[in-house]
């Protein structure tokens, strides 16, 4: 545990960018932080690892999901924002392993589908069940399976679900809804695409409706557009999903001020964008033949009314931990647009979201440091396309070159689809790291579905 979260790199986000812009293009001498990291890397870890192994029960579980955040995405963000010898917050976890992420074939779970999407992989970590791409917490035959959030709620824990995407997007959806196709975000699409789930056919409704029916104590992200659609049957027929949420006891906030002022003694619904929330950073997208070496900029179009993922995490922890002495909570926090900007071959977008996600992890680690009965897990749902290649490499795909914190060029390659098309997920195993009770179960090579059982064991869920 030594050094975990004990220091923060002083340069984050826009400040780091300004520093990079001002710095000469030479490697900077290591500061005290860099030296202590080096000592940690070269020293004997035995006592640290032994001290980090903690069995028994956790009061709280905080799960951080970096969507599409494979080892390559982590390394790219680290090189750019901290330097090759620097460390992100997520790199400081004492116990680390890898897990496999594959999906299975619809109707035949014995046949792997090696490249998963966020829906099948999310169903894996949220329910312990392998399923087909596109499935939201239903098995390979379309049957609903209970999720860790639902079980936590049933066992008396508070629950929270936070994302930078639409709250109806696959990753937050798998925790609190069950539909046969991830596109069934609101009542309108559900009628056509998931008739078996539609309210008017006797189903539980769209993802948005089911999120409200499951009713986590905190639900924060984008996706207001689907809450503005009208429920088609049942008690709330003709009303919007947002009105259904109000009837379920939610206070709704839509901007940073609202989030800050929201009560912590009432369920909290935050919908900060019609669809996905905006990006932290911008820069040149990758292109065939490469870009001139450049740096990333803060996204000038980012509305100040949108909270950052770290802000949402902080507020969620306030609501979930308020006045609790015995039972704790389960909280999921997703950095969603690492994946979306990887698809778009936009390295600065991707890196900015990874750094924003890492800032949220720092909030979770700080909470765990003062609440030692907290299991914190950081992982991804699947690998993605971006790769660091030699600066003089001849890629058939799209590349971009960035000047990193080290003051040297780094070339990033996107070549899992034809140039201009959406780049693809990959089938690689991904990192899983943890601290706190039961975190030893992330060590080694596990499968994504094992994470469900680790969290269930940590909270003693039945």
Binding residues vs Mg ion (CB under 5 A): 67, 118, 171, 336
Please enumerate in sequence order all residues whose Cβ is within 8 A of that of 359, keeping only pairs 6 or more positions apart, or say none.
12, 13, 89, 308, 309, 310
Contact call for residues 62 and 364 (beta carbons, < 8 A) = yes
**CB 136, min distance to Zn ion, A:** 15
What pairs with residue 240 in β-bridges? 230
| 339 to 378: interface string for Zn ion, x by CB under 5 A | x---------------------------------------
Instruction: For Zn ion, give the closer residue by CB, 60 or 416.
Output: 416
Choose from Zn ion, Mg ion, none: what does 410 bind? Cβ within 5-8 Å by kind: none
Positions marked active-site: 118
Task: Please give the Cα distance from 441 to 355 (Å, whole number).
Answer: 26
Report the C-alpha gap between 308 and 169 in whole angstroms: 18
208 or 403: CB nearest Mg ion = 208
Residues 405-444 that bind Zn ion (CB under 5 A): none
Which residues 311-340 are close enough to bind Zn ion by CB under 5 A? 339
Which residue lies nearer to Mg ion by CB, 338 or 400? 338
Partner touching 336 among Zn ion, Mg ion, none, CB below 5 to 8 Å by kind: Mg ion
Nearer to Zn ion, 168 or 339 (CB): 339
With b for 16 or more beta-carbon neighbours within 10 A and e for fewer, the 376-407 pattern comes to bbbbbbbbbbbbebeeeeebebbbbbbbbbbe
**Eight-state DSSP code of residue 161:** E
116 binds, among Mg ion, Zn ion, none (CB under 5 to 8 A by kind): none
- Smallest gap from Cβ 313 to Mg ion, in A, equals 16
213-272 residues in contact with Zn ion (CB under 5 A) are none
* Residue 381 CB, nearest approach to Mg ion (Å): 7
- Residues 399 and 411 sit within 8 Å (Cβ to Cβ): yes
Residue 56's contacts (CB-CB under 8 Å, 6 or more residues apart) are: 437, 438
Cα–Cα distance, 111 to 45 (Å, whole number): 40
Q: Which is nearer to Zn ion, 64 or 236 (CB)?
A: 64
CB 405 within 8 A of CB 20: yes
Q: Tokens at residue 449, please?
A: 């579905």
| Nearest residue to Zn ion, scored by beta-carbon proximity | 339
Which residues does residue 61 pair with via DSSP β-bridges, in sequence order?
330, 375
Alpha carbon 451 to its chain's center? 15
CA–CA separation, 148 and 459 (whole Å): 10
Distance CA 20, CA 444 (A): 37
Share of the chain residues as helix, strand and coil, in percent rounded to the nearest 5: 35, 20, 45
Nearer to Mg ion, 310 or 336 (CB): 336
Total residues at interface with Zn ion (CB under 5 A):
1
Residue 97's contacts (CB-CB under 8 Å, 6 or more residues apart) are 431, 432, 433, 442, 443, 444, 445, 446
Cα separation, 371 vs 247, in Å, equals 34
**Least separation in angstroms between CB 161 and Zn ion:** 19
Closer of 79 and 121 to Mg ion (Cβ)? 121
- Using CA atoms, how far residue 251 sits from 175, 230, 264, 315, 462, in Å, is 21, 19, 10, 14, 30
User: Smallest distance from the beta carbon of 407 to Mg ion, in angstroms?
Assistant: 33
CB of 49 to Zn ion, least distance (A): 33
**What is the Cα–Cα distance from 431 to 382, expressed in whole angstroms?**
9
Catalog residues that contact Zn ion under the rule CB under 5 A.
Answer: 339
């Amino acid at each position: 545990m030594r050094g975990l979260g004990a220091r923060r790199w002083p340069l984050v986000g826009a400040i780091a960018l300004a520093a990079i812009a001002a710095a000469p293009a030479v490697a900077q001498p290591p500061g005290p932080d860099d030296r202590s990291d080096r000592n940690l890397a070269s020293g004997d870890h035995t006592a640290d690892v032994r001290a980090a192994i903690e069995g028994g029960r956790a009061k709280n579980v905080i799960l951080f999901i970096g969507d599409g955040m494979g080892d390559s995405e982590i390394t790219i963000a680290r090189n750019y924002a901290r330097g090759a010898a620097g460390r992100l917050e997520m790199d400081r976890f004492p116990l680390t392993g890898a897990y496999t992420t594959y999906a299975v074939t619809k109707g035949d779970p014995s046949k792997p589908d090696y490249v998963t999407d966020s829906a099948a992989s999310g169903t894996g970590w949220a329910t312990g069940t392998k399923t087909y791409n596109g499935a939201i917490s239903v098995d390979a035959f379309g049957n609903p399976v209970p999720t860790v959030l639902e079980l936590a709620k049933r066992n008396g824990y508070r629950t929270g679900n936070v994302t930078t995407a639409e709250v109806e997007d696959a990753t937050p959806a798998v925790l609190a809804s069950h539909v046969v196709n991830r596109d069934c975000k609101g009542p309108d699409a559900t009628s056509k695409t998931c008739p078996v789930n539609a309210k008017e056919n006797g189903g539980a409704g769209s993802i948005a409706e089911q999120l409200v029916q499951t009713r986590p104590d905190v639900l924060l992200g984008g996706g207001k557009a689907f809450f503005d659609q009208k429920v088609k049957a049942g008690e709330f027929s003709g009303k919007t999903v947002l009105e259904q949420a109000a009837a379920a006891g939610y206070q709704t906030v839509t901007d940073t001020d609202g989030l800050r002022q929201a009560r912590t003694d009432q369920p909290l619904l935050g919908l900060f964008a019609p669809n996905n929330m905006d990006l932290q950073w911008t820069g040149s997208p990758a292109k065939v033949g490469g870009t001139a070496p450049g740096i990333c900029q803060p996204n000038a179009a980012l509305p100040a009314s949108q909270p950052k993922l770290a802000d949402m995490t902080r507020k969620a922890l306030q609501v979930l931990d308020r006045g609790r002495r015995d039972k704790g909570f389960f909280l999921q926090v997703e950095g969603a647009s690492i994946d979306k900007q990887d698809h778009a071959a936009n390295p600065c977008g991707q890196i900015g979201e990874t750094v924003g996600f890492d800032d949220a992890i720092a909030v979770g680690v700080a909470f765990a440091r003062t609440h030692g009965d907290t299991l914190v897990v950081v992982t991804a749902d699947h690998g993605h396309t971006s790769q660091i290649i030699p600066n003089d490499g001849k890629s058939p795909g799209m590349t971009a070159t960035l000047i990193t914190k080290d003051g040297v060029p780094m070339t990033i390659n996107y070549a899992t689809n034809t140039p201009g098309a959406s780049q693809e997920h990959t089938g690689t195993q991904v990192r899983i790291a943890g601290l706190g009770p039961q975190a030893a179960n992330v060590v080694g090579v596990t499968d994504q579905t094992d994470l469900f059982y680790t969290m269930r064991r940590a909270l003693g869920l039945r």
